[in-house]
Amino acid sequence: MTTTSTSGTRPDDVRRHNRAALLRRLHVDGPSTRATLATALGLNRSTIKALVDGLAEDGVVEERVPAQRSGAGRPSLLVLPQPQAAVVLAIDIRVERAAMALVGIGGQILGRDSWRVRGSNEPREVFTKIMDYVGPLVAEQEVGPVAVGVSVPGVVRRADGFVHEAPNLHWKDVPLGAWLSHALKLPVHMGNDAELGALAEHLRGAARRADDVVYISAEVGVGGGVISNGRSLRGVGGHHIGEVGHMVVKPGGLPCYCGSRGCWETEVGERALCRALGIDEDSPVGAIVAELRALAAQGDQALERLDEFVEWLALGLGNVVNLLCPQLVVLGDLFTALPAPLVARIQETMRGRSLVSRALGGTDVVTSSLGSDAKLLGAAELAFETVLSDW
Contacting range for its own copies; rule: CB under 8 A; set: 54-62, 66-74, 174-182, 325-333: 325-333
The C-alpha atoms of residue 44 and residue 72 are separated, in whole angstroms, by 25
Residues 136 to 155 in contact with its own copies, rule: CB under 8 A: 154-155
The C-alpha atoms of residue 113 and residue 101 are separated, in whole angstroms, by 6
Minimum distance between the CB of residue 345 and its own copies, rounded to whole angstroms? 17
* Neighbour-count burial for 130-147, b at 16+ CB within 10 Å, e otherwise: beebbeebbeeeeeebbb
Told to check if 358 binds its own copies by CB under 8 A, we report yes
Minimum distance between the CB of residue 372 and its own copies, rounded to whole angstroms? 24
The three-point CA angle 333-296-321 to 5° equals: 45
Minimum distance between the CB of residue 21 and its own copies, rounded to whole angstroms? 5
Calculate the CA dihedral of residues 200, 203, 209, 214 and round it to 10 degrees. 30
Minimum distance between the CB of residue 12 and its own copies, rounded to whole angstroms? 12
Residue 151 in contact with residue 191, Cβ under 8 Å? yes
Minimum distance between the CB of residue 207 and its own copies, rounded to whole angstroms? 12
Residue 102 in contact with residue 89, Cβ under 8 Å? yes
Contacting range for its own copies; rule: CB under 8 A; set: 16-24, 89-97, 110-118, 271-279: 16-24
Told to check if 40 binds its own copies by CB under 8 A, we report yes
Minimum distance between the CB of residue 240 and its own copies, rounded to whole angstroms? 7
- What are the percentages of helix, strand and coil residues in the chain, rounded to 5? 45, 20, 30
Contacting range for its own copies; rule: CB under 8 A; set: 65-73, 85-93, 245-253, 272-280: 245-253
Told to check if 228 binds its own copies by CB under 8 A, we report yes
The C-alpha atoms of residue 75 and residue 143 are separated, in whole angstroms, by 33
Told to check if 17 binds its own copies by CB under 8 A, we report yes
Q: What are phi and psi of 329, to 5 degrees?
A: -115, 125
Amino acid at 100: M
Beta-carbon contacts of 53 under 8 Å, excluding residues fewer than 6 positions away, are: none
The C-alpha atoms of residue 391 and residue 382 are separated, in whole angstroms, by 15
Told to check if 158 binds its own copies by CB under 8 A, we report no
Residue 86 in contact with residue 383, Cβ under 8 Å? no
Told to check if 165 binds its own copies by CB under 8 A, we report yes
Nearer to its own copies, 292 or 320 (CB): 320
Told to check if 354 binds its own copies by CB under 8 A, we report yes
Told to check if 118 binds its own copies by CB under 8 A, we report no
Contacting range for its own copies; rule: CB under 8 A; set: 55-63, 120-128, 339-347, 353-361: 353-361
Told to check if 211 binds its own copies by CB under 8 A, we report yes
Could you say which DSSP state residue 216 is in?
A: E
Nearer to its own copies, 239 or 275 (CB): 239
Told to check if 276 binds its own copies by CB under 8 A, we report no
- Exposure of 346 in the CB half-sphere (CA atoms within 13 A): 26
Which residues of the chain form contacts with its own copies (CB under 8 A)? 1-6, 9, 14, 17-18, 21, 24-25, 40-43, 154-155, 164-165, 167, 211-212, 224, 228-229, 233-237, 239-244, 246-251, 258-260, 315, 318-320, 322-327, 352-356, 358-360
